[in-house]
Structure 1
Amino acid sequence: MSADGTWSIGELAERAGTTVKTVRFYSDLGLLPETSRSAGGHRRYGPGALDRLLLIRSLRGLDLPVAEVGRVLDREEALEDAVAGKLRELGSRMAELRWREAALRLVRDCPAEERADRLRLIGALDSPPSTAAVARFLRRVLPPRLPSRLVASITDAAVPAPPDDPTPGQVLAFARLHALAADAAGTVSVCRPVASVPDGACRPAVLYDGLTEAFALAAPDVRAGRAPYGGEALDCFVAAHAGMRGARDTPEFRRRLSRYLDDVAHPRIDRFWQLTAEAAATPEPTFGALDDWLRAALARQVADPAA
């Protein structure tokens, strides 16, 4: 340090454990202002420059961009926003790496004869995958006169969110789900559990409002693995179908409804619910599983009213 208490660029670099080139770089960017110039025109730095240089290096060590470093140096409260943004970025990158790892394990551990098919499936999938295509598929097969509030509610509940740390099985389920959504354009007219009504009378909003309530009532029994039975959830389920048709809930209506639902088959939609269950990161039953449970409860009641 000179008599005036300043350091040369080399002295500052030595005390900070870095190079003259680095000090000059930050100085040229305006992040490390010089205190003065020597008679020969060389930069001189005051004692405060060392702390500032060490702070710059710490912030850069956190991988903050130079522009963010400048904002933090100018405004201390900007550090919190910069760190939060970096954490979000790292979270996204880590999720991407976990999906790639699970995809690699999926290919590594599968039988040789399945490898080409799995490579094709996961090759069409982002890491982590977007759910936009799956949501579009579901919206496309829902009844066209359904209110937007119900479409949004059903889509939010039915489309699984990609887990942050997927298993290879979940990667495969998401890949198959995306393939189904891409391949099923225009092939399904009405989404199960809605079935088209033979006589043409159909109020889908009434049906779906009722089904939403029936599914919520049945969910605890399905989660607990209880056998299907008659009760409030089944009554709500039947009332929803009766309301859609403008019919009354009678024993005869229940018999006809059970027969009709048994005859209705939507293989692609059944496959959709199966894959959403495999892809989901939560144990919550899908709408498809809840619908199956209520249909089974109805069939059991019709077969044995005393039960």
Structure 2
Amino acid sequence: MPADSAWSIGELAERAGVTVKTVRFYSDRGLLPEGARSTGGHRRYGPEALDRLRVIRSLRALDLPVPDVSRVLAGDGEEAAQDVLDDVLEGVIAGRLRDVGSQLAALRWRQAALQLLQDCAPAERAERLLLVGAVSAPPSTDATARFWRRWLPPRMPAGVVAAVVDEAVPQLPDEPTPAHVLAFARLHAFTSRSCDGGDRGQPAAHRTEEGFRPAVLYEGLREAYALASPGLRAGRAPHGGEALDCFVSAYAASRGVRDTPSFRRRLSAVLAADPRIDHYWRLAAELAGPSRPTAGAAHDWLCAALDGQVARRSL
């Protein structure tokens, strides 16, 4: 385009409805194509610059950073334009959607946290502020996952550990309430404590040295908990059946023994004496809700079913 028929930077800004400073900003970053300069060395632009500026404004309206805008425009040639829309632009927009989703989750969490602090009694506010202040927004369950990896028996296959941790760590609600915030803050505080030293409150099965196969136990327990969940959701009283048989079988198989009435009596006594982390499961249940029974609730239900069966057989 001849320099005398091109637009000045001010004319381009006026046509695009932006400031001269905006046009200069994008020009300096190589995002706007320039035509031949005037005899005085001033920038000149053609219609393609106006089209490009409109694309830039559209991308920036989506809050895309300038480097991402540059990536999209880098392949915006006549033959590559569609490929850019299908590949680079799609990827950039998907990334921004993830970012916005994370920001919204953080805002919802902060809103619920502020509501919690506003609504509580003045005497509780200082303690709750410390609890909530220790949790990021949006919250992370990393500390809870680490708690379970330390708590589980050593030398278990990675796949089994991952499956147990995935089921034990509660999913956070998409629309948190102040009660959810308080429950998670307390759960975070509980699981962030050091578990070093001693038996770490583990059940007797974890402390069995010889002939114990923890992976067999936990794989069997996961199946038993899944079988017990429908009864829990329906509010049924603990009872014998497939779930209880699977539960007992997991303990028997992990020790290489048979499931007999005598074994069930001994197992009932061992489980009754085991250390418990009821506080954890209560908080996890508050986050999960009644439609998703926790592994702790399933374990208690199955223990009660076993105790009842042993008691009836001893009559």
Listed as ranges, the gaps of 5+ residues in structure 1 are none
What does residue range 252-267 of structure 1 map to in structure 2 within 5 Å?
252-266=262-276
Give, in angstroms, the shift of residue 303 of structure 1. 2.3
The one-character-per-residue Cα deviations of 1:140-195 (angstroms, maximum 9, x if unpaired) are 12122433322221011111233333221111111111111122523653545956
Q: In the comparison of the two structures, how many residue pairs are matched?
A: 303
107, 117, 131: which is aligned to 1:121?
Answer: 131
Equivalent in the alignment of 1:49? 49
Equivalent in the alignment of 2:298? 290
Please give the alpha-carbon distance, in whole angstroms, between the structure 1 residues aligned to 2:155 and 2:41. 78
Please give the alpha-carbon distance, in whole angstroms, between the structure 2 residues aligned to 1:142 and 1:103. 32
147, 150, 162: which is aligned to 1:140?
Answer: 150
Listed as ranges, the gaps of 5+ residues in structure 2 are 76-80
**Structure 1 residues 193 and 293: CA distance shift in structure 2, 3 A:** farther
Please give the alpha-carbon distance, in whole angstroms, between the structure 2 residues aligned to 1:178 and 1:84. 31
* TM-score, scaled to structure 1: 0.89
**Structure 1 residues 72 and 246: CA distance shift in structure 2, 3 A:** closer
Give, in angstroms, the shift of residue 260 of structure 1. 2.9
CA contact (8 A) 2:3 2:36 kept: no
The one-character-per-residue Cα deviations of 1:90-135 (angstroms, maximum 9, x if unpaired) are 1111111111111111111112111111111111111122222111
103, 106, 109: which is aligned to 2:116?
Answer: 106
What does residue range 212-251 of structure 1 map to in structure 2 within 5 Å?
212-251=222-261
Please give the alpha-carbon distance, in whole angstroms, between the structure 2 residues aligned to 1:148 and 1:175. 28
CA contact (8 A) 2:204 2:274 kept: no
* TM-score, scaled to structure 2: 0.87
CA contact (8 A) 1:141 1:188 kept: no
Please give the alpha-carbon distance, in whole angstroms, between the structure 1 residues aligned to 2:257 and 2:65. 66
253, 270, 274: which is aligned to 2:282?
Answer: 274
Instruction: State whether structure 2 residue 181 is matched by structure 1 residue 167.
Output: no
CA contact (8 A) 1:192 1:288 kept: no
Please give the alpha-carbon distance, in whole angstroms, between the structure 2 residues aligned to 1:304 and 1:290. 21
**Structure 1 residues 3 and 254: CA distance shift in structure 2, 3 A:** closer
81, 85, 92: which is aligned to 2:91?
Answer: 81
3-state SS of the aligned residue for 2:44? strand
Please give the alpha-carbon distance, in whole angstroms, between the structure 2 residues aligned to 1:169 and 1:194. 34
Give, in angstroms, the shift of residue 229 of structure 1. 0.9
**Structure 1 residues 142 and 211: CA distance shift in structure 2, 3 A:** same
- The share of aligned pairs that are identical, in percent, is 60
**Greater shift in the superposed pair: 28-37 or 184-193:** 184-193
Equivalent in the alignment of 1:37? 37
Equivalent in the alignment of 1:8? 8
Q: Name the aligned partner's letter for residue 117 of structure 1.
A: E
Give, in angstroms, the shift of residue 280 of structure 1. 2.9
3-state SS of the aligned residue for 1:7? coil
Please give the alpha-carbon distance, in whole angstroms, between the structure 1 residues aligned to 2:41 and 2:58. 29
Give, in angstroms, the shift of residue 201 of structure 1. 5.7
Q: Name the aligned partner's letter for residue 68 of structure 1.
A: D
Equivalent in the alignment of 1:181? 191
CA contact (8 A) 1:103 1:122 kept: yes
Q: Name the aligned partner's letter for residue 189 of structure 1.
A: R
Please give the alpha-carbon distance, in whole angstroms, between the structure 1 residues aligned to 2:101 and 2:290. 20
CA contact (8 A) 2:152 2:206 kept: no
Equivalent in the alignment of 1:203? 213
Please give the alpha-carbon distance, in whole angstroms, between the structure 1 residues aligned to 2:171 and 2:13. 50
CA contact (8 A) 2:233 2:290 kept: no
Q: Once superposed, what is the RMSD of the aligned Cα atoms?
A: 2.5
